[in-house]
Chain A
């Protein structure tokens, strides 16, 4: 298989949320680019880009930076943080990433992993610990504080490694139907997890046997 990307091509942080949810979904979006085929999402992205104008202002004593470019050489990831607040402390500023989400908090940890990856980048870039950040959900209008504990950091780094291996292989993992996950997946019609579990060879054979069976003769005349 041809590698999908050069190894020094950093992985997009935004892809990690897909990789946590389902590696096949991440492969369909980031390797096969089927997502890009949907022009409604493309238009949505354009709108998002416009909203993502870089800037910086003071807010309640914290420096608030929007659309901040982030990267980690160690993990080979990069991306753009919606907002990073820099909280002034006795021994300097501490970064506090905030990611804005349209929906509401989810049962899986995809949003937390995306945020934690931003924190890992900020730690490498500022050489200072980033102990926590926040997810802001549009539907609940609530800020959810996310502590970057050892478990979340491990999950994030494991996800980066798994996704990196996937991109390097250029392969899309097979579909595995899991009702709870697949039903709420926006890519279900492109992934088709249930149909992909079938054998097309068997289907072709059965369809032909049925077409050639005497009772399938549609002319209604007796033999």
Chain B
């Protein structure tokens, strides 16, 4: 029933989008450059100065197609949604559960750390031979350290705060060795620890961009099943923060974003020319670089894998929706826990 609908990304500055019949038409300099039937779309994401006709905005809202406005660098600016749907009883259950979040947080954090650990194990298995001995040892000891963290939180009664600490500890270890997973000969493409707002190296610029795309998909998934994207479990409420979307995306980050970043760099689909450095040291993807990432992102979302809990094949792009659905089923009392998405 639920189909993986496409997201239309519009990145060309000065493009104009309008509605024609049941199609969305993209024009640049009054010349038609593309045409997509509305029923094929789940979302429209535009970057920077793109003109959108009011009838199109209305048609998207009515059809339940989310319209997201990002700035030129891919930072969130606004979204247009139709009437809020979903179900007040589910939201009440979500709010109640957010007061006692321990078990949901345990699911999210253990799956995130387990998935980060598999990313390291895979890199070691596939490319360990090419790593220097120092790097290999560092990655191996991080894998061990993550195992200890996992045992500490997965099989005990640690509360949400302790698990938040464990999540941070695991992330520190993981990102401390992330540079060792890069195999680009390009001296500029390095990772110097996680930096945000602004990213200070190309790898951080790429990760931030991918996390933005993933946040948007997770937010849509939450809204699609009727959950309130602002009320989270692991992430505490903060005005304007899509805490639930951030919660949902934790278990996908290592697989859907970090691994995609690694393969784009290691296969040299992205090179230093795809990034630009602004005054003050902020590093951003160029427009060509963004296009490469968006194409790869769309392709990755179509790849299918067996869902570990549902035991059926599902494209990566549908996994945030399936997880949101499983979370909703847990909140409504069907499941004794939230079954997170473990990647093997």
- Residues of A that sit less than 8 Å from B by CB: 2, 4, 31-34, 36-40, 42-43, 170-172, 174-175, 186-187, 189-190, 192, 195-196, 198-201, 203-205, 207-208, 211-212, 217-221
Expressed in whole angstroms, the minimum distance between the Cβ of B67 and any Cβ of chain A is: 15
**Interface residues as binary, B306-344 with A (CB distance below 8 Å gives 1, 0 otherwise):** 001111000000000000011001101111111110101
Categorize the interface residue count of chain B. 35 or more
- Cβ B335 vs Cβ A42 within 8 A: no
Can you list the 5 inter-chain pairs with the closest CB atoms, starting with the nearest? A218-B121, A200-B339, A200-B337, A219-B124, A39-B64
- Cβ A219 vs Cβ B128 within 8 A: yes
- Residues of B that sit less than 8 Å from A by CB: 1-2, 39, 63-64, 85-87, 89-90, 92, 106-107, 110, 114, 117-118, 121-122, 124-125, 128, 140, 143, 147, 150-151, 154-155, 224-226, 308-311, 325-326, 329-330, 332-340, 342, 344
Which residues of chain A have C-beta atoms less than 8 A from B330's C-beta?
200
- Report which of B89, B143, B309, B329 forms a contact with A4, defined as CB distance below 8 A: B89
Which residues of chain A have C-beta atoms less than 8 A from B336's C-beta?
199-201
Which residues of chain B have C-beta atoms less than 8 A from A34's C-beta?
87, 225-226
- Cβ A198 vs Cβ B87 within 8 A: no
Which residues of chain B have C-beta atoms less than 8 A from A220's C-beta?
125, 128
Expressed in whole angstroms, the minimum distance between the Cβ of B174 and any Cβ of chain A is: 15
- Report which of B90, B124, B150, B335 forms a contact with A212, defined as CB distance below 8 A: B150
Which residues of chain A have C-beta atoms less than 8 A from B85's C-beta?
33, 36-37
- Cβ B334 vs Cβ A175 within 8 A: yes
- Report which of A4, A195, A219 forms a contact with B125, defined as CB distance below 8 A: A219
- A–B Cβ pairs within 8 angstroms, 22 of them: A2-B92, A31-B87, A32-B90, A39-B63, A43-B63, A187-B1, A189-B2, A195-B326, A196-B329, A196-B335, A200-B107, A200-B336, A201-B336, A201-B337, A203-B337, A203-B339, A205-B155, A208-B150, A208-B154, A211-B117, A211-B150, A212-B150
Which residues of chain A have C-beta atoms less than 8 A from B337's C-beta?
199-201, 203-204
- Cβ A170 vs Cβ B339 within 8 A: no
Which residues of chain A have C-beta atoms less than 8 A from B86's C-beta?
33, 37
- Cβ B332 vs Cβ A172 within 8 A: yes
- Cβ A208 vs Cβ B110 within 8 A: yes
- Report which of A36, A37, A186, A203 forms a contact with B309, defined as CB distance below 8 A: A203
